[in-house]
A and B are shown apart, each in its own frame.
Chain A
Amino acid sequence: MKIINEIEKAQAKTGVPAFNVGDTVRVTSKIQEGGKERLQAFEGIVLKRQGKATRETFLVRKIVMGVGVERIFPINSPLIDRIQVVKSGKVRRAKLYYMRKLTGGAATRIEEAEAKPVKEGA
């Protein structure tokens, strides 16, 4: 177990911002296209964070031309250039699956959280 933990720890990325379910994030990922690399941003609401340690992933949802689009990112993926927290949201659930059923403005709106004291580490 110790050795496996070491292997996992070696993959941890530094500079990953602390964010929570309900926050609006902008994930910039690297994309290989015809031998060239470019960056693509995906901005939406974080519906869930799941998994432990460096295996953790998060699910981002946004609405594109009236259609819901979801993407799952591994937090420590080398393909992620950076994660920016655009807005922090105030939610009462750990998993925001109910957002999938919402339409119109409600589907993209989450009450903004008051500025919380920033936790160390996290």
Chain B
Amino acid sequence: MLLGKKLGMTQVYSEKGDVVPVTVVEAGPCYVTQVNEKSIQIGFGAAKKVNKPMAGHLKELKVKYLKEFKVGNAADYKVGQELKADLFKAGDKLKVAGTSIGKGTAGTVKRHHFHRGPMSHGSKSHRIPGSIGAGTTPGRVEKGTRMSGRMGNERVTVKGLKVVRVENEKNLILISGAVPGPGNNLLEIYKA
């Protein structure tokens, strides 16, 4: 697993000549900052400033983001070890997690894919949610009823993405399809 930064999307040609939409991710270099019994902590990104407590933890490494990952073989890692994009190769299946784009207050049509009502013929129920429950029994709205509200800006994981190309010198991974979030988004990349 690695931490990475989403750079944006473009398209490349496959060997067969097909156009493949890809997300370009700057993956690594990451550094192992701590080794625990069953997990390792990984740091990524150059930090401009490191405060005293952080500097004590990181020693010489100056990283911006820290993230702990569960691993089966934690003893195989050493503090300060460099992890780079060459962990992955073309054809690998990935799992990518990140923070999705915040959509603000969104209605039920956009947030929960409710159907909308007719737009004409006297209808006024264009995008309203409709009924939110029964009558006197139960006499309240069920917990967890899907309604409008804040959408996005939450952790999203996309599974089964494919690595199209890895550029080791630049630490770039080209992933087929889209990954969560806007450009410059911090991503966790796992081998699926």
Chain A residues closer than 8 Å to B16, beta-carbon distance: 32
Contact B170 A3 (CB under 8 A): yes
Complex Cα spacing A3 to B16, Å: 24
Contact A3 B24 (CB under 8 A): yes
Number of interface residues of B (CB under 8 A): 15
Query: Using a CB-CB cutoff of 8 Å, which residues 49-95 of chain A contact chain B?
Result: 55, 74, 76-79
* Inter-chain contact total with CB atoms closer than 8 Å: 31
Q: Does A11 contact B (CB under 8 A)?
A: yes
Residue in A7, A30, A77 whose Cβ sees the most chain B Cβ within 10 Å: A7
Q: Does B8 contact A (CB under 8 A)?
A: yes
Contact residues on A (Cβ < 8 Å of other chain), bracket: 10 to 19
Chain B residues closer than 8 Å to A74, beta-carbon distance: 19
Q: Does A4 contact B (CB under 8 A)?
A: yes
Per-residue CB proximity of B8-33 to A under 8 Å, as 1/0? Answer: 11111100110100001010000000
Q: Does A8 contact B (CB under 8 A)?
A: yes
Contact B13 A3 (CB under 8 A): no
Contact B12 A78 (CB under 8 A): no
Contact B10 A7 (CB under 8 A): yes
Which of chain A's residues has its CB closest to B172's CB? Answer: A3
Complex Cα spacing A89 to B9, Å: 36
Q: Does B7 contact A (CB under 8 A)?
A: yes
Contact A1 B8 (CB under 8 A): yes
A55 interface neighbour in B7, B11, B170, Cβ under 8 Å: B11
Interface residues of B, Cβ cutoff 8 Å to A: 7-13, 16-17, 19, 24, 26, 170, 172, 174
